[in-house]
Amino acid sequence: MLKQFDDTLRTGLITILNVDINKDQWLHASLPVGDSGLGIRSAKMLAPSAYLASAASTLLLQQSILTDSIWMQGDQSVAFAETLWTGLANSPKPSQQTQHIQKAWNGPVAANQKNLILSRAPSDLDKARLLAAASPHSGDWLHAPPITTAGLRL
């Protein structure tokens, strides 16, 4: 269902922008803004991180509610989400102290997807464009006040 939701989101973006978006372009658009994406997050890419952060943040509550016999069996959905996350992130799990923070789970996923996009760039010019878009302060122009007399109006 996540893929179906992403496909609907991608179709909506194609309709709004009136351009075709291939698989790599969609991957790039679904990166966070800080990683040169459009911030239109892919549910398939984001869901394991959100689920694992939620599971970690409620761990103590789960332990207090569930009986020891149920708790010892383990949660198969967490194991499944960790498997999905490992495939997306290609990195070790966050430390125990930060597992309740979604950004700790999502950061490696976004970094891995960004590296994938860079590795698929057809030319050095495309790589340079992608790196420039992700550089610090590349979006600062968005914070410029629209002052016509100072030439700061689009």
What's the pLDDT tens digit per position in 91-103? 888 988 898 998 9
- Percent of the chain exceeding pLDDT 90 equals 29
The answer to whether position 9 is within a domain reads yes
Q: Looking at residues 69-83, what average pLDDT do you find?
A: 73
Global pTM value: 0.74
The answer to whether position 106 is within a domain reads yes
Q: Looking at residues 23-51, what average pLDDT do you find?
A: 88
What integer pLDDT is reported at residue 50 of this predicted model?
A: 92
Burial code (b: 16+ CB inside 10 Å, e: under 16) for 112-145 equals bbbeebeeebeeeeeeeebeeebeeeeeeeeeee
52, amino acid identity: L
CA atoms of 134 and 137, how far apart (whole Å): 9
What integer pLDDT is reported at residue 137 of this predicted model?
A: 82
Q: pLDDT tens, 117-149? A: 889 888 999 889 888 888 888 777 777 777 777
The answer to whether position 92 is within a domain reads yes
62 has a pLDDT exceeding 80: no
Could you give the count of Cα atoms lying within 13 Å of 28 in the half-sphere of its Cβ? 18
What is the total residue count of the chain? 154
The answer to whether position 108 is within a domain reads yes
CA pseudo-torsion sign 108, 109, 114, 115:
positive
The answer to whether position 40 is within a domain reads yes
What integer pLDDT is reported at residue 11 of this predicted model?
A: 93
Identify the band that residue 10 occupies on the pLDDT scale cut at 50, 70 and 90: very high
Average pLDDT score, the chain: 85
What integer pLDDT is reported at residue 63 of this predicted model?
A: 75
CB 36 within 8 A of CB 28: yes
The answer to whether position 55 is within a domain reads yes
Please count the structural domains in the chain: 1
What integer pLDDT is reported at residue 14 of this predicted model?
A: 93
The answer to whether position 10 is within a domain reads yes
Q: Could you list the residue range(s) of the whole structural domain that residue 59 is in?
A: 2-121
The answer to whether position 136 is within a domain reads no
